[in-house]
Structure 1
Amino acid sequence: MPPLNRNLQQLVTIAQKPEKLIIGLMSGTSLDGLDIALCRFTGNGFDTRFKLLNFTTVPYTDNFKQDIKQVFAQKQVDLEKLCLLNAQIGSLHADMILQALKDWNINRSNIDVIASHGQTIYHAPQRLHQLTDYPNATLQIGDGDHIAVKTGVLTISDFRQKHIAAGGEGAPLALYGDVLLGSDAQLNRILLNIGGIANLTWLPANQTDIICTDVGPGNTLIDAACRQYFNQPYDDGGRIALSGKVNELLLDALLNYPFFTEAAPKTTGPELFSSTYVQQAQANADAQNITAPDLIATLSALTAEAIVRFIKTQLPTGCDQLLLSGGGAKNQFVSTYLQKAFPNVAVADTSLIGLDADAKEAILFALLANEALCGEPVVIGQNPAVLMGKFSFSL
């Protein structure tokens, strides 16, 4: 038998290492920047152990954000721009990784793998596009080969496509990491991530009937209103929302939308929860002249109330802990709303169980890369039991 080529031999060597250093990358629909998490992993599956060694978020420039917005969550885009951004994002993310390693005084040769989520630009589950001849689909750009070649590190990317190919909607992929890292044999937990979209994982102590699903908008509508009316990228700490008053008629109009009554699991994105959605609700509620603080308070209440209604109507009773992550975990309006709705539940962030609330999603993609290297598909209810990610070699 001929020897393995250098790339395949390297892959085998890394997969067999008892301990791996993996960089997880996450850039969400909020378009605020790139999360970079350096993690040490041992084991796999339910025997996985990890430690977060370093974490940073590298903000995107305003010009870069505008570039992405030209192709983000739109049915019609400039195809050349899309093509160029696929390469540019991969190259930019590689530069950000190299700078982070320099700042941390870590040699790139010590890194075994980079796990790149890429930048989602369009999410199209069949429930949204409603074209019966077409399947679920999603698209993340930021080519993994560019990252691998520029950093010299094996890169695993494009995780969502396998999930779709196996019958899923490509999201939320948090399910796999939440189950492996967040389960507890004594406690019923909800792990709630509030990024651009809010998604949660129900983790009962008996580990049966686990549910992972999107539940509605997270920060996407709040952030858009902050940019439009206050020239701010987001509502820091929920301060603007706390200064306003919720318009109950508008909140009812926003919640009177088919997505909220659809059965889980389900996925969504800014393609659905857009400025058009808000404007239609304002027209239905005769709330076109609402003040900016009141609008942001109402959109924040929408985020929280959608979560509350889902938990109360579609999850079993008996939750012990509601653990938050993502940017929305720092929004005091939202977290206070949740605590009032569930007075007997411990509402905290995921650092309570050793998962940094800011780094959690980047950690989860690092975990998916670890599973792709040395794991086996994990059966979790009716969810696709697959190993995800495409491998890009540096040579």
Structure 2
Amino acid sequence: MNPYVHKLSAVAKQPSRLVIGLMSGTSLDGLDIALCRIAGSGTGTTLELLRFDTKEYTDEFRERVRQVFAKRTVDQLVLSGLHALIGKLHGTLVNEALRGWGVSPADVDLIASHGQTVFHAPQSLTGTTDYPNSTLQLGDGDHLAVTTGIITVSDFRQKHVAAGGEGAPLAAYGDYLLFTDTHETRVLLNIGGIANFTLLPAANGNGNPCFATDVGPGNTLMNQYMLAHFGVEMDRDAQVAAKGTVSEPLLEALCDHDFFALPFPKTTGPELFNLPYLERAQRASGTGSLRTHDVMATLVAFAASAIVASVQRAVQACRNPCVYISGGGLHNPLLVERITLGLTGIPVSSFEVLGLLPDAKEAALFALLANETVAGKAVHATAIFDSPAVCMGKISFPA
């Protein structure tokens, strides 16, 4: 027997596992690394976050990824090379984090790697049936496993697509297992490049389903605009947007898209919400000469408006709804303020009050997905509406 097969079997039988979760989002800010102690599986899962760090990407690396990011036509040498490069880079960053924490790689049971999404193409977004739903994350698991010496679970979204899903969002699996409450309906809102949430109806409620859905742009349009017009990756603390005034004509044009009327759950990405989308809205609204600060203020209002409308629609039949925010958008005070004001009567809090560091949430949830793949069962996910009950991820051995 391959010794790593034997080791994987032993890991699956342990009462708990030490798992590193990795998340690299569409904002391309860096690699989130979460070291978690996970016990049990299914609804009996417990997760303890032991260490967390974000390793910032270099500008040179970001530019390489942007050569293929959300583009229909790419250089295949770059695409193929990035798959290996990202796997090796993520492995190197994991090794750096472990050294900094004083943790031996031999003590880590699994790495759970999301990879780097470069194209998301469900039929609902592409509008064509020529190809099945598809999504592409770069960062080869074998390179990661060989670089770290740790068994790696990666490429989670492919099983979701293969089983009939759209490959996103996947947060519902971990959210459901860890955070369902008896009395409170929880909306776990993650504001990354794209904003999404998981709806967790109160467990003793009226039978409303649990589901996860994208709702529209989170930070992606704001970040793209800041890079194009100010040469920086983001509007830190909303300093630019706070000096602007919302343009109602532009806001109305931005909100005028069929995506927002689609039923839940649904997925989207920067393939739709990008600078050409903004340019079309400016032409349609006659706001092409708008000041940059006003454009940024309007983009914040656009993201908040999409989030507020979606949450209000989702919780109509639910009791005691509460919203908990994680992701990079939590650090945008203007965006959080607009969301809070828009959701009158619905408490809005940081995800931290649920006992998990907000910035670590997505990485930790991928650690949980790997735990389910190794020690759980597909049946644990049957309560999630319109999402296949599967265990996800491909397993890579270091040798």
Counterpart in the other structure of 1:370: 371
State the partner residue of 1:35: 32
Letter of the 1:327 counterpart: G
Residue number in structure 1 paired with 2:263: 263
Structure 2: segments with no counterpart, 5+ residues: none
Separation of aligned partners in 1, 2:215 and 2:344:
21
Q: What residue in structure 1 maps to residue 244 of structure 2?
A: 244
Per the TM alignment, residue 344 of structure 1 is displaced from its structure 2 partner at its CA by 1.8
Matched, 1:146 2:143: yes
Corresponding residue SS for 2:9: helix
Q: Distance in 1 between matches of 2:117 and 2:298?
A: 27
How is 1:21-60 mapped onto 2 (pairs within 5 angstroms)?
A: 21-60=18-57
Aligned counterpart, 2:392: 388
How do 1:107-256 residues align onto structure 2 when only pairs under 5 Å count? 107-206=104-203, 208-256=208-256
1:215-247 alpha-carbon deviations (Å, 9 max, x no partner): 000000011111122222112222322221110
Deviation string for 1:170-208 (max 9, x for gaps)?
000001011111211110110000000000111110364
Partners of 1:196 and 1:218 within 8 A in 2: yes
Contact 1:208 1:381 in 2 (8 A): no
Aligned to 1:16: 13
- 1:323 corresponds to which residue? 324
Q: Find out whether 1:6 has 2:7 as its counterpart.
A: no
Corresponding residue to 2:60 among 52, 59, 63: 63
1:100-147 deviations in Å (ceiling 9; x for gaps): 000111111110000000000000010122222311000001000000
Counterpart of 1:309 in structure 2 is: 309
What is the CA–CA distance in structure 2 between the aligned matches of 1:279 and 1:200, rounded to whole Å?
27
The match for 2:348 is 347
Once the two structures are TM-superposed, the CA of residue 331 in structure 1 deviates from its matched residue by 1.1
The aligned amino acid for 2:294 is D
The one-letter code matched in structure 2 to 1:134 is Y
* Cα offset, 1:345, TM superposition: 1.7
CA contact (8 A) 1:325 1:358 kept: yes
User: Which letter maps to 2:324?
Assistant: L
Q: Does the CA contact (< 8 Å) of 2:265 and 2:386 recur in 1? A: no
What CA distance in whole angstroms lies between the structure 1 residues aligned with 2:80 and 2:183? 49
- Could you tell me how far apart the structure 2 residues matched to 1:236 and 1:253 are? 26
Contact kept, 8 Å, 1:190 with 1:319, in 2: the verdict is no
The question of whether the paired residues in 1 share the 8 Å contact of 2:189 and 2:196 is answered with yes
**Separation in structure 2 between the aligned mates of residue 132 and residue 147 of structure 1, nearest angstrom:** 34
How many pairs does the alignment contain? 392
**1:319, CA displacement in angstroms?**
4.5
Helix, strand or coil: the match of 2:120?
strand
Q: CA deviation at 1:309?
A: 1.2
Asked if the contact 2:18–2:36 (Cα under 8 Å) also holds between the matched residues in 1, the reply is yes
**C-alpha distance in 1, partners of 2:47/2:286?**
51
Provide the rounded CA distance (Å) in 2 between the counterparts of 1:386 and 1:86: 25
Deviation at 1:83, TM superposition (A): 0.6
After TM superposition, give the deviation of residue 320 of structure 1 in Å.
Answer: 2.9
CA distance in 2, matches of 1:15, 1:211: 28
Name the structure 2 match of 1:297: 297
Alignment of 1:334 onto 2:342: no
Match of 2:339, as an amino acid? Answer: L
The one-letter code of the counterpart of 1:216 is: G
Instruction: Output the CA distance in 1 between the equivalents of 2:328 and 2:48.
Output: 21
Q: Using the alignment, how far apart are the partners of 1:355 and 1:221 within structure 2?
A: 27
Deviation at 1:314, TM superposition (A): 4.0
Instruction: Give the Å deviation of 1:382.
Output: 2.9
The ranges of structure 1 where at least 4 consecutive aligned residues each deviate by more than 4 angstroms after the TM superposition are none
Give, as a single letter, the amino acid of the residue that structure 2 aligns with 1:332.
Answer: P
Paired residue secondary structure (2:239):
helix
CA distance in 2, matches of 1:47, 1:291: 53
Task: Measure how far apart 1:149 and its partner are.
Answer: 0.8
How far apart are the structure 2 equivalents of 1:319 and 1:278? 36
> Within 2, Cα distance between the matches of 1:224 and 1:232?
9
What runs of 5+ residues in structure 1 fail to find an aligned partner? none
Query: Could you tell me which amino acid in structure 1 is paired with residue 321 of structure 2?
Result: D
Which string of whole-angstrom CA distances, capped at 9 and with x for unpartnered residues, describes residues 331-359 of structure 1?
11111111111232221111110121101
Q: What letter matches 1:284 in structure 2?
A: A
Taking the aligned partners of 2:266 and 2:208, their CA distance within structure 1 comes to 19
Structure 1 equivalent of residue 360 of structure 2:
359
CA distance in 1, matches of 2:129, 2:229: 39
**C-alpha root-mean-square deviation of aligned residues, in Å?**
1.1
CA distance in 2, matches of 1:127, 1:87: 30
Task: Give, in whole Å, the separation in 2 of the partners of 1:237 and 1:354.
Answer: 24
Aligned residues: percent identity? 49
Distance 1:75 1:231 in 2: 24
Distance 1:133 1:320 in 2: 40
Cα distance in 1 for residues equivalent to 2:386 and 2:70? 29
Contact 2:199 2:314 in 1 (8 A): no
- Indicate conservation of the 8 Å contact 2:308/2:342, yes or no: yes
